[in-house]
């Protein structure tokens, strides 16, 4: 077993840098939202409430609740709710499919945050309109992307 | 076998909306983390969750690597009749884990 040399350590460091994934960007998030809303630049702000702590101490698990102000009847209901981020490796977080039998359009989960960033929730109603809300979060300990 | 925690009220008045909470043990490996040798650990996440109420789908979630390990989900349903709630988690290996819960509608 040879001692690690300065050269091998540097090479290992470079390899780590190379495999580090590119982060999603606000542009990637905007594209993901457009794909979800099928070309709807019409996702209007409002009717959606996105609750996330403003200050997240542990980015590995941050509680998140999305609520949509809408009746849940067979005529008018929330069809889908999607959550997007701008700085994790991928812009998507989750897509929830609801039905009139859901009763209320309220969903909670826990997400990873790789950095302080903006989170966006978009809701699709049965009448084809899209509504959105955004929340800023500050993360003190980011979700680990590197090994170890 | 993943371990699950399911929280459903035992009995609910007819027509009311009740809350369902589920938690399943799973690493949700993102596919973006290198191991000690610098190679990326392969992605291994639960990508789909479905809840059916007496066989009819009431809630479905598509999950991505940005969901935290041991995915927790909370959602609601309308109490229509007594019966069975079934929960299905599907992971990247195609394995489907199913749990059920009884509910009595009064």
Asked if A144 reaches chain B (Cβ–Cβ under 8 Å), the answer is yes
Number of domains in chain B: 1
**Given B58, B63, B65, which is nearest A99 (Cβ)?**
B58
Q: CB neighbours (10 Å) of residue B70?
A: 18
A32 alpha-carbon distance from chain centroid: 10
Instruction: Give the pLDDT confidence score for residue A27 in this predicted structure.
Output: 85
What is the full per-residue pLDDT of chain A (148 aa) written as tens digits? 455 566 665 555 554 444 445 677 888 888 888 888 875 666 788 899 999 999 999 999 999 999 999 999 999 999 999 999 999 889 999 999 999 999 999 999 999 999 999 999 999 999 888 999 999 999 998 887 655 4
Q: Give the separation between CA B22 and CA A107, rounded to whole angstroms.
A: 12
Instruction: Give the pLDDT confidence score for residue A34 in this predicted structure.
Output: 85
B59 vs A147: CB contact, 8 Å cut-off?
no
Q: Using one digit for the tens of pLDDT, what is the confidence trace for B60-84? A: 999 999 999 999 999 999 999 999 9
Place of tokens 């897509």: A95
Instruction: Give the pLDDT confidence score for residue B81 in this predicted structure.
Output: 93
Instruction: Give the pLDDT confidence score for residue A148 in this predicted structure.
Output: 43
Domain presence at residue B13:
no
Residues of chain B in contact with residue A137, where contact means CB-CB under 8 angstroms, are none
Q: Give the separation between CA A88 and CA A116, rounded to whole angstroms.
A: 10
CB pairs under 8 A between A and B: 113
Q: Using one digit for the tens of pLDDT, what is the confidence trace for A101-119? A: 999 999 999 999 999 999 9
Task: Measure B8 CA to nearest chain A CA, in Å.
Answer: 14
Q: What percent of chain A shows pLDDT beyond 90?
A: 57
Tell me the average pLDDT across B34-53.
Answer: 91
Domain presence at residue B57:
yes
pTM for this predicted structure: 0.86
**Given A85, A93, A109, which is nearest B73 (Cβ)?**
A109
A89 vs B61: CB contact, 8 Å cut-off?
no
Instruction: Give the pLDDT confidence score for residue A4 in this predicted structure.
Output: 58
Residues of chain B in contact with residue A92, where contact means CB-CB under 8 angstroms, are 64, 66
Asked if B65 reaches chain A (Cβ–Cβ under 8 Å), the answer is yes
B58 vs A101: CB contact, 8 Å cut-off?
yes
Residues of chain A in contact with residue B68, where contact means CB-CB under 8 angstroms, are 60-62, 109-112
ipTM score of complex: 0.94
Tell me the average pLDDT across B21-48.
Answer: 91
> What SS3 class is residue B56?
strand
B72 vs A110: CB contact, 8 Å cut-off?
yes
β-strands B56-63, A92-98 pairing: antiparallel
**Given B53, B57, B64, which is nearest A93 (Cβ)?**
B64
Instruction: Give the pLDDT confidence score for residue A12 in this predicted structure.
Output: 55
Parent domain of B54: 44-68+75-98
Lowest mean pLDDT, pick from A17-31, B1-15, B44-58? A17-31
Asked if B81 reaches chain A (Cβ–Cβ under 8 Å), the answer is no
Which residue segments constitute the domains of chain A, with CATH numbers given? 23-141 (2.60.40.2470)
β-strands A130-141, A44-45 pairing: parallel
């Amino acid at each position: 077993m040879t001692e690690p040399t300065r050269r091998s350590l540097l090479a290992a460091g470079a390899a780590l840098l190379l495999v580090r994934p590119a982060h999603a960007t606000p542009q990637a998030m905007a594209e993901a939202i457009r794909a979800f809303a099928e070309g709807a630049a019409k996702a209007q702000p409002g009717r959606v409430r996105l609750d996330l702590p403003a200050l997240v101490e542990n980015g590995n698990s941050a509680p998140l609740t999305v609520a949509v102000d809408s009746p849940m009847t067979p005529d008018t209901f929330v069809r889908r709710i999607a959550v997007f981020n701008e700085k994790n490796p991928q812009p998507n977080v989750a897509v929830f499919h609801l039905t009139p039998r859901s009763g209320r359009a309220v969903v909670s989960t826990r997400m990873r945050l790789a950095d302080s960033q903006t989170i966006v929730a978009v809701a699709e109603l049965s009448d084809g309109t899209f509504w959105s809300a955004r929340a800023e979060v500050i993360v003190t300990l980011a979700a680990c992307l590197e090994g170890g | 076998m993943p371990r699950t925690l399911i929280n459903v009220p035992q009995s609910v008045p007819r027509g009311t909306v009740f809350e369902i909470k589920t938690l399943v043990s799973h690493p949700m490996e993102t596919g973006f983390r290198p191991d000690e040798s610098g190679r990326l650990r392969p992605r291994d996440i639960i990508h789909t969750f479905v809840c059916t109420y007496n066989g009819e789908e009431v809630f479905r979630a598509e999950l991505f690597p940005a969901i935290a390990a041991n995915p927790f989900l909370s959602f609601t349903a309308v109490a229509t009749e007594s019966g069975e709630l079934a929960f299905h988690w599907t992971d990247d290996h195609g394995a489907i884990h199913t749990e059920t819960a009884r509910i009595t509608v009064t």
